[in-house]
Each structure stands twice: as structure tokens, then as C-alpha cells.
Chain A
Amino acid sequence: MSRALETLAAWLLGVLWILPLAYATWTAFHPKEYSARFVPTAPLTLQNFVEAWQAAPFARYLVNTVALVTVILVAQLVLCTLAAYAFARVSFVGRDAAFLLVLVQLMIMPDVLIVENYRTMSRLGVLDTIVAIGLPYMASAFGIFLLRQTFKMVPKELDEAARVEGAGVLGTLWKVYVPLARPVYIAYALVSVSYHWNNFLWPLIVTNSVTSRPLTVGLQVFSSTDQGVDWSIITAATLLTSGPLLVAFLLFQRQFVQSFMRAGIR
């Protein structure tokens, strides 16, 4: 009896949770007159996607987003690897204090320092560029923390062996630590890409033109000004925006869920 109730509750939640997405999918793939009428025989169409794609430079926005997440990820991987190695295996003056200062960013994220960071970007003369969107996120306390934990678990004997063979600091890092931390890198990369693909407020503030706007900001500009209430096109644009990430998620579900799990457990 209670088992049956549990199954019922699980399914009720499951349906509720997928409902908004299912609703958007219905509207996006059907002609406008069916956008809120649920007739099973309604014809399917891709017209809404075509219209959305033509009504705004989504292709350019997509390129911008891909460039943005790539630039951020590459910078994060390099910077966090170097810093994490220093914290994990090199003893230097002021290490503990420096580590505490890094951890500050876990609480006070760039997301809330919008006014001052805008001022800095303006002073650097990089407003309205992809670099400006990415800069505040490139040194990630979260990435440093995660990799430091991972590097600390690498047996010291391996490190020593590489040194005996004549490898320097960077050589050891590259040959010993990076390969062993591969799963963590993948986990971190998935979390980082999802985060920055979806990030909105900061890109909204620093971008001002088609050449630098990522998809999220493009979607907002599109749906708030151009379209009024044409929901079929707006939902199509919405699915376009989240599409690539959503497809990647559906293909690599297990990997995604495990990455988010791994990244969360400290």
C-alpha cells in the first residue's frame, strides 16, 4: 500500500517536473493556433524555429556562447591547475593565508560584485567583449579547491619518481598529476560549461551588441523587444538557446549527473 503511494508520488512529481518543458516543446513544434490548444492531431512544424532563427542573429549568439565557455574553461583549467598544485604540494610562505583568501570567492562570487567589476572593465576598455564576460570567472576558487583535494591524494612517491627522472615542476604536473586527475577535470569542465552557458546577469550588464552577446542575453533581448506575445516563436527560441546543452545532457546523462555530484561533494 505505502509502496504504491510512493510510486504514485514519484510519478506525480516526475510529470509535474517535466510539464513546463513538455509544454514549451509542444508550443514550439506546433503552428501558432495550437500553441495553447492540446489537440493530439495537431500538425507538427519547424516553422517557429525557422522564424526565430531568422528574426534574430542566433547563429552569432551561439558562436559567442561557444567562444565564451571555451575561453573561460581553458583559462580556468590552466590557472586552477597551477594554483591547486602550489596549494597541494609546494610549501611556501603565506600559503595558508593565501588559501583562505582564495576561499573567500566561494562566498563572494563575481555575480554580486557587478557594479565594481563593471567599473573595472570600463577602465580596462574591454566593455562589450567576450573577454570582459569571462575575466571575473577565470580564477575559480571552486576549481582550485577541487583540484587541490584531488592532487593531495596523488601518492608522493610518483611525484618523487618523476623528479628523480629529471622532470621539473611543470613536467611533473603534466606527466603525473593531470592524467591522474582526469575524471575531476571532466567533472569540473561539465559544471563550468553548464554554468557559463546559462549565466545571464553579468553578460547582460557588460555586453551591448550582437558581436559579444551570448545566447542567454540574446534570447532576452529577442523575447522582450521584438516579439511581443508570439509565444510559439519565443518558446522555439528558448529551446534553441538551451538546445545544445540539453542534447549533450541527454546523450551523456550519467556523466553529467556524476560530474555535478563529484563537484558538489567536497
Chain B
Amino acid sequence: MAIGTADARRGGDGALMSGGRWSVTGWLLLLPAAVLLVTFTHFPAAATAYHSLFSTPRAGRPAVWIGWENYQAMAADPVFWQSLTNNALFALGTIPTSMALALAMALLVNGSVRGRAWLRLSYFTPTILPMIAVANIWLFFYTPRYGLLEQITGLFGLPSHNWLGSRDTALACLIVVTVWKEAGFFMIFYLAALQAVAPVLSEAASIEGAGRWYFFRRVTFPLLMPTTLFVLVNAVINSFRLVDHVVVMTRGGPDNTSSLLLYYIYDVGFKFWDTGYAAALTMVLLAILASVAIGQFLLLDRRIHYR
């Protein structure tokens, strides 16, 4: 009986306080954060959906309801499709590479390699630098004739090439910068996970005569699965969220061959001030992010976990 009342006092799922008065306390504690969250996340998300159905207000001409017109314009807009395709290519180019490199780096510096501390530092440093600074450094790196890349290709007698100014290589240049920036960040999550793998496992495996590759494939890699998923979700979000390097290095050019979705939204919204159309474009981005969230929920909570 006494235990029963104590339980009731703690509330159903382990909360310490419950009941009417505590409801007020709970909401009061939450209030400041809730106001800001609603104002700058939920409200703008809903307002985006709403404004995407209106024309852009211009001087002397208020916004009018135009239904799906912004979306029809979008479907017929080659720059939108190009930005979306570029973004898909960008994601495909950055995510697997940076994750594989992150895992390789973690495995390399988790062992007893010579100069381990220095190597970790070198891998991780790009994480601390602002993307904008990184982009400036790489801009110099890619500069025609003058930059380091041209000097190296020049040594091998290759012809001069404008890496950022050419339609075929601009997006690839952005991909390389992003991989360089992100691999070390993802590495630390793998490193943390590797350090949690019990050393007994590898001892047992070596007694059994299992090779290191076999051990990695059958034991380490499956154990790292939750980390891989976590890193994957972050990498996907980043590939749609981060466009600082586009602003600095290519401005989406040449001919939109390196424009990413968010960069195009920025262009439409803040250079052409076409906010109605920008809202429709933002809806696509929100739909992509929402499907990542749903995908993560289904995968993370249903399939992959330690037993």
C-alpha cells in the first residue's frame, strides 16, 4: 500500500512529480524554450507551406492566392531540377566516401600506429575550422595556374585546368572539400564506438585463428552498426543543410552545375526576392528532411540495436 502511493506520487513512468500543480510547473519550465521553438521552427515550417500557395508580394501588389502555381513553375524550372540532381550527386559523392574514410581513420588510429596523437589531430582539425575559412583555403588550392593543385598537375605535365570554373569539375571540387571537412568529425564517433568494443572479443578471435579482416567483417562492423546509422543520418542532413562552400567557391556556377537545393533557395529568396517561389522550394527540402527523419525512426528503432 505504501509502495503504491509512493509510485503514484512519482507518476507513471518514473517522473518525480505529477498531478495538477505539477502540470503548471512543467509547462512553466518549458515555456521559454517552447515559445522560441514554436516561433522559429514550427511556425516558419507551417508558414512556408502557407506562403508557397501565394504569389510573391511586390511593391503595391499584395500576395494573392495562386494555389499550386508555384509548384507548377517549380516542376517546369530546369534550375530547380538541376539543383536537386546536383544535391543528390553531392550526397552520393560525399556520404559513402566520408563515412568509409572516417571508419578507416578510426581503425587506423585506434591501434598502435606510430604518431597516433598527431594523426588524430590532423584528421580532426578540419572539423574545428569554419566551412567558410576552409572554402577560402581550398579556393586558393584550386586557383588556375597559381594554386597548389595546378602546380602539382603541372609537374606531371598535365594541361592547365580551371577546376572550379568548369562544368565538369565544379561539383566534384565541392565534394572533395566536404569529404575533407567531415571525415574527421565522423571519425570520432567510430573511435568512441571502437573503444567500447570489448578487447576480449579480439583476443578470442585470434585464439580461434580468425584473420583481422574476418574479425572486422563478422564482429567489429556489425557492432558498429548503430554508429554507422547515426553518422549516416548526420551526413544526409549535412548534405542538404550546408552550402557555405557553394557561396564562397562557385556561387552555384558555372551554369548552375554546382548549385545545391538550399543554395538555390537562398538565391531565389534573397537575390531575386521571390519569396513565394522560395517557399515552394523550401517545402521540397522539408519533405526530404522529414523522410530522413521517418527513415531513421523506422530503421533505428525497429531494426538495428544491440541484443
A contact residues vs B (CB 8 Å cutoff): 2, 6-7, 9-11, 13-15, 17-18, 20-21, 23-24, 27, 36, 78-80, 82-83, 85-87, 89-95, 98, 101-102, 104-120, 135-136, 138-139, 141, 144, 152, 156, 159-160, 169, 194, 197-198, 200-201, 204-205, 215-216, 219-220, 223-224, 229, 231, 234-235, 238-239, 241-242, 245-246, 249-250, 253, 256-257, 260-261, 264-266
Q: Of B24, B114, B124, B289, which one neighbours A112 at CB under 8 angstroms?
A: B289
Most chain A beta carbons < 10 A, residue from B42, B133, B266, B279: B133
- Verify if B18 is at the interface (C-beta below 8 Å from A): yes
Q: Are A89 and B16 in contact (CB under 8 A)?
A: yes
Q: Are B129 and A91 in contact (CB under 8 A)?
A: no
Q: Which of B77-85, B162-170, B237-245 lies at the binding interface?
A: B237-245
- Verify if B156 is at the interface (C-beta below 8 Å from A): no
Chain B residues with CB below 8 A from A119, complex form = 47, 275
Q: Are A36 and B148 in contact (CB under 8 A)?
A: yes
A to B contact number (C-beta, < 8 Å): 291
Q: Of B36, B183, B189, which one neighbours A79 at CB under 8 angstroms?
A: B36
Q: Are B120 and A257 in contact (CB under 8 A)?
A: yes
Shortest Cβ gap from A34 to chain B (Å): 13
Q: Of A7, A24, A83, which one neighbours B29 at CB under 8 angstroms?
A: A83
B contact residues vs A (CB 8 Å cutoff): 10-19, 22-27, 29-30, 32-37, 39-45, 47-48, 51, 101, 104-105, 108-109, 111, 113-115, 118-134, 136-138, 140-141, 143, 146-148, 151, 180, 183-185, 188-189, 191-192, 212, 230, 234, 237, 240-241, 243-244, 247-248, 262, 265-266, 269-270, 275, 278-279, 282, 285-286, 289-290, 292-293
Q: How far is the CA of A2 from the CA of B212 in the complex (A)?
A: 11
Interchain residue pairs with CB less than 8 A apart (20): A14-B119, A17-B183, A18-B125, A20-B138, A21-B129, A24-B137, A86-B25, A90-B26, A92-B22, A114-B266, A116-B45, A116-B47, A139-B35, A144-B33, A201-B244, A205-B270, A216-B133, A235-B140, A245-B129, A261-B191
Q: Are A245 and B128 in contact (CB under 8 A)?
A: yes
Q: How far is the CA of A265 from the CA of B109 in the complex (A)?
A: 19
Q: 8 closest Cβ contacts across the A-B interface?
A: A92-B26, A116-B44, A91-B15, A91-B11, A91-B18, A198-B130, A139-B36, A86-B29
Q: How far is the CA of A249 from the CA of B188 in the complex (A)?
A: 15
Known: A117-B40, A264-B234. 10 other contacts (CB 8 A): A21-B129, A86-B25, A86-B29, A89-B17, A108-B45, A109-B237, A116-B282, A139-B33, A198-B132, A238-B137
Q: Are B114 and A264 in contact (CB under 8 A)?
A: no
Q: Are B29 and A257 in contact (CB under 8 A)?
A: no
Tell me whether chain A's interface is mostly helix, strand or loop, or mixed: helix
Q: How far is the CA of A101 from the CA of B30 in the complex (A)?
A: 12
Q: How far is the CA of A114 from the CA of B263 in the complex (A)?
A: 11
Chain A residues with CB below 8 A from B41, complex form = 104-105, 108, 110, 113, 136
Known pairs A23-B148, A90-B25, A204-B247; A107 contacts B15 (CB<8 A): no
Q: How far is the CA of A87 from the CA of B13 in the complex (A)?
A: 11
Q: Are A114 and B141 in contact (CB under 8 A)?
A: no
Q: How far is the CA of A139 from the CA of B37 in the complex (A)?
A: 6
